[in-house]
Amino acid sequence: MKRLPNALLSLVLLAAALPAAGQAPLNLPQPSPEASVNQTVGLTEISIHYHRPAVNKRKVWGELVPYGEVWRAGANENTTFTVSSPVKVEGKALAAGTYGLHVIPTEKEWTIVFSKMSNAWGSFTYDPKEDALRVAVTPMKAPFEERLSYTFADPSNRGTTLLLRWEEMAVPVRLEVDTPNVVVESIRTQLRGLPRFSWQGWNQAASYCLRNDVNFDEALQWADRSIQLNENFQNLRTKAGLLEKKGDTKTAEALRAKSLPLATEVDMNLYGYQLLGDRKFDEAIAVFRKNVKDHPKSWNTYDSLAEAYLTKGDKKLAAEYYNQALAMTQDETQKKRISTILAGIKG
């Protein structure tokens, strides 16, 4: 059998490959562009992935998107809602995970559907049996929006509002997170790693629980672990705060007294500002005065004492200590800052 010349053989092989190559789609701009939006609430990550259809001079609600029928809440494949921790949606619990997001709009009320099926194309195969959660929300009149959008409004450490907007409609969905418990779970995991080997890691864990009124019993164990590694002003006061929360004020006061001789200049400064933040002006001034006595060569101790007096409203003593700080510091930035404050006091 005669062999085909190499050039002809190449053409034959190329021709055979063309039909397969012709089936591959080109990457071109989509009429409804892909988009995503993310929001962190505490440690919880929340995200929406969707495609953005345009109004394009059409009437959307009640026509393009019929009332009373399930809609994909976007274009193309499923709009997806992903949350890394359990949340409450309009007061109802939803587990961590990724969900297909669908809606059933009416003129006065919308049903928001979180489906366990998140990989479908639109809502064509939507099955109510796969619902993880349904909630009812109220749509609002809003300024015109050409393309469908999702945003997160009014985020805080414990919640946010997911806002769907399109045409002249806005649909708010309230999301809430039990952030302290989410953080405690995260802390337990983190303390299995490198933070467990330092007193700071255990103290940070216990301090978080103290500040957020959560998990006191375990937090006391964490405070003790910190003290075992390195007893100091910070972890003794953390433990004192936890004991006070549990009603043991006598032991708490003893620990606070024990902590004072261990305090560094920075410890006392931070403690003073904490008291200032709580509007305990006289107590803060006493702490800052002790810091000046213990660290008389530090310009920063005079600066902090001056700020405490100024916050209380005593401009005369504030000016006295600001002048001492100004005479001691060699930092030009600090000199300029203090001079500006003194000019304001005199004015």
Instruction: Tell me the average pLDDT of the chain.
Output: 92
Query: For the stretch 237-249, what's the b/e string if a residue is b when 16 or more beta carbons lie within 10 angstroms of its beta carbon?
Result: bbbbbbbbeeeee
pLDDT, position 117: 95
23 falls within a domain: no
**Which domain CATH number covers 238?**
1.25.40.10
Q: How many domains does the chain contain in total?
A: 3
**Is there a single domain that holds both residue 182 and residue 168?**
no
Domain assignment present for 2: no
Residues 73, 76, 78, 80, Cα dihedral to 10°? -70
Q: Judge whether 271 lies within some domain.
A: no
Residues 55 and 111 in one domain: yes
Boundary (domain end) residue, out of 149, 177, 205? 177
pLDDT at 1: 43
Q: CA gyration radius for the chain? A: 31
In-domain check, residue 15 = no
Residue 17 has pLDDT above 90, yes or no: no
Structural domain containing residue 323 = 280-347
Supply 129's token pair: 């049996």
Is the same domain home to 90 and 156? yes
Do 78 and 130 have their domain in common? yes
**DSSP SS3 for 198:** coil
pLDDT at position 110 over 70: yes
Q: Give the Cα separation of 60 and 167 in Å (integer).
A: 7
Same domain assignment for residues 164 and 45: yes
Q: Are residues 171 and 59 part of one domain?
A: yes
Cα 144 to Cα 92, 165, 167, 172: the distances in Å are 31, 9, 5, 16
Q: What's the pLDDT band for 122 if we cut at 50, 70, 90?
A: confident
Asked whether the predicted pLDDT for residue 154 surpasses 70, the reply is yes
pLDDT band at 11 (very low <50, low <70, confident <90, very high): very low
The answer as to whether 4 is a domain residue is no
Rounded Cα distance between 234 and 225, Å, is 13
Q: Within this chain, do residues 146 and 183 fall inside the same structural domain, yes or no?
A: no
Residue 291 backbone dihedrals phi, psi, to 5 degrees: -65, -40
Q: Say if CB 242 and CB 220 are below 8 A apart.
A: yes
Pair 297, 199 in one domain: no
The whole-number pLDDT of residue 38 equals 97
Q: CB neighbours (10 Å) of residue 70?
A: 18
155 and 51 both lie in a single domain: yes
Domain boundary (262, 296, 331) is at 262
Residue 13 included in any domain: no
| Positive or negative: CA dihedral 181, 186, 156, 53 | negative
Question: Last residue of some domain: 177, 205, 233?
Answer: 177
Are residues 50 and 94 both part of a single domain?
Answer: yes
Give the whole-angstrom CA distance, residue 175 versus residue 137.
12
Return the amino acid letter for 287: V
pLDDT in tens, 44-87: 999 999 999 999 999 999 999 999 999 999 999 999 999 999 99
pLDDT tens figures, 163-215: 999 999 999 999 999 999 999 999 999 999 999 999 999 999 999 999 999 99
Percentage above 90 pLDDT, the chain? 88
The proportion of the chain whose per-residue pLDDT surpasses 70, expressed as a percent, equals 93
With 0-12 / 13-18 / 19 or more C-beta atoms within 10 angstroms meaning exposed / middle / buried, residue 272 is: buried
Q: Phi first, then psi: give them for residue 206, nearest 5 degrees.
A: -65, -40
Rounded CA-CA distance 142/137 in Å is: 15
Does residue 333 sit in the same domain as residue 323? yes
Q: What is the DSSP string of 305-332?
A: HHHHHHHHT-HHHHHHHHHHHHHH---H
The whole-number average pLDDT for the span 110-125 is 94
Q: What single DSSP character describes residue 154? A: S
In total, the chain counts a number of residues equal to 347
- If asked whether residues 168 and 223 sit together in one domain, one would say no
Residue 196 forms part of a structural domain:
yes
d(CA 52, CA 81): 15
